[in-house]
Structure 1
Amino acid sequence: MICSEVSIDNIDRKIISLLQKDPSITHTEIAKEVNRSQPTIGLRIKKLEKAGIMNFQAGLNLKVADVLIARVDLQTNNPEKILNEVKEYPYIINAFQLSGNYNLSLLLANSSLKHLDIIINEHFRNDSDVLKVHTEIITDILNDFVLPIDIQKRNCKCNEKFKTP
C-alpha cells in the first residue's frame, strides 16, 4: 500500500488532491491552501515524485476525445508473452494481469469500431496462446480520464487491413 511504503501525511494528501483537481495550480496557491510556505510545497512535491507516488503526464482526455475505448479480456496460457508483445502494439492504452477466468485485461483506443475489431482479431483472436477473448466497448466515462495514447499510426499488420478513405 502506498501509505505504508512511503510516509505521506495529510498535507501531502491535500497537495495531491489539489494537483489532481487542477494540475495548473501554482505552488503559491497550494501553500495558501495548506498553510505552508511555497518552498515547502515544492520540496514535498519533489519528494512525492521521487517516491513514484505522484507523476505528471500529458495525454488525451478520453472523456471528451472522439475516441472509442475497448476493454478486452483475454484468457491465455502465456500471459507474460502477451504482455511483452502488447508493449509494442499501437492503440494499446494499458494492460493488466488479473486473477480469475480471464488473466489479462487490456484497454485499447481507436476512432473506428471496425479498426478496433481488426486490431483484436489480428493480435489476439489469431494468437494460438489466446484461448478466449471478451470485448466490451466503454460507452461513457464519469470523470476526466487523461492518458497518453499513441495516436500515430505506426507500422502494424492491422493497419494494412484497415484502409481509410
Structure 2
Amino acid sequence: MKLDDKDRIIITMYAEDPDISQEKIAARLNMTQPSVAARVAALRKEGGLEKQLGVNPIKMGMYLAKVEASCTAPRDVLKKMRGCPYFAHGFTASGRRNLFMLFFSESITTLESIVDCHLRSDPSVSEVDLDLLITSEKDFVIPIRMKPDLCDGAPCGIEHSCYECSSFKEEKCLGCPATGQYRGNVLGRAVASAREPGSARQ
C-alpha cells in the first residue's frame, strides 16, 4: 500500500480523534470534503484506516491477562479459543514462545481456570506463562459480545460442562456465558439455574 503525506495526515487525525469530521480534515488539507471522503474510503478498503468499537477492560475495572506458551499446533489452539467469551485476541509468534493470547474477566481465578483447564491440559501446549496487565499507555478496546447467544456445547470444544468442573464447583471460575453457566455480572445475567444437567434448553 502506497501512502502520500495527505494519507498520513488523515490517518494521524483519525488516530487522535476517531470521531473527527471529514470537513475538519478537508480544511486542514485544503481539500474538498468529497476528495477527503474518497481518500478515506480507499484507506479503509486497503486496511490503512480501521475503527473498532467495544469496551476498554482495564478502564472498566476488569482484569486483562497476557498468556504466552510454547505450542506445537498454535493455529489449532487459537481456532479453539476464538469462540471463548473471555478471549480478547491471539497471535502466533516466532521463537520458542510461539503462542500469545489475551483474555479478560472480572475474576482473576476465572482467568487462571481458563489457562489451567484449556491450555495447560492441552498436550500440544507447554511452558505456559500467565501475567496480569496492570496499565495501558493507550486505550485498548475489545469488541465484546456482552450477551453471547446460548449454545448447546462450549465454543472452545471442551466436552464437560461447567457443573462438572472442579474450578466451577469451588467457585474459582465464573463459568461460560455461551452455555448459560455463568455467575458473573459483566457478560450478562446468570442463567445457570435453567441449564442444569439434563434440563431442557430454555
How would you bin the TM-score normalised by the shorter chain?
0.7 to 0.9
Tell which structure's C-alpha radius of gyration is larger: 2
Match for 1:125 among 120, 123, 134?
Answer: 120
- Structure 2 residues without counterparts, runs of 5 or longer: 163-167, 175-182, 185-202
Greater per-residue helix proportion:
1
Q: Structure 1 residue 56 and structure 2 residue 69: aligned? A: no
**Counterparts of 1:126 and 1:39 in 2: how far apart (Å)?**
55
**Counterparts of 2:143 and 2:53 in 1: how far apart (Å)?**
6
Q: Structure 1 residue 146 and structure 2 residue 132: aligned? A: no
- The alignment partner of 2:64 has SS state of strand
TM-score computed with the length of structure 2 as normaliser: 0.72
RMSD: 2.0
Identity of aligned residues (%): 28
Contact 1:30/1:41 (<8 A) preserved = yes
Q: Deviations along 1:33-77, whole A, 9 cap, x unmatched?
A: 122111111000000011122122211124412211100001111
**Counterparts of 1:58 and 1:70 in 2: how far apart (Å)?**
20
**Counterparts of 2:31 and 2:56 in 1: how far apart (Å)?**
32
Q: How many residues align?
A: 160
Match for 2:77 among 82, 98, 101?
Answer: 82
Contact 1:63/1:143 (<8 A) preserved = no
Higher RCO (C-alpha 8 Å, min separation 6): 1
Structure 1 residue runs of 4+, over 6 Å off?
Answer: none
Q: 1:148 to 1:17 in 2, by over 3 A?
A: same
Task: Name whichever of 54-63 and 117-126 sits farther off.
Answer: 54-63
- Structure 1 residues without counterparts, runs of 5 or longer: 1-5
- The alignment partner of 1:122 has SS state of helix
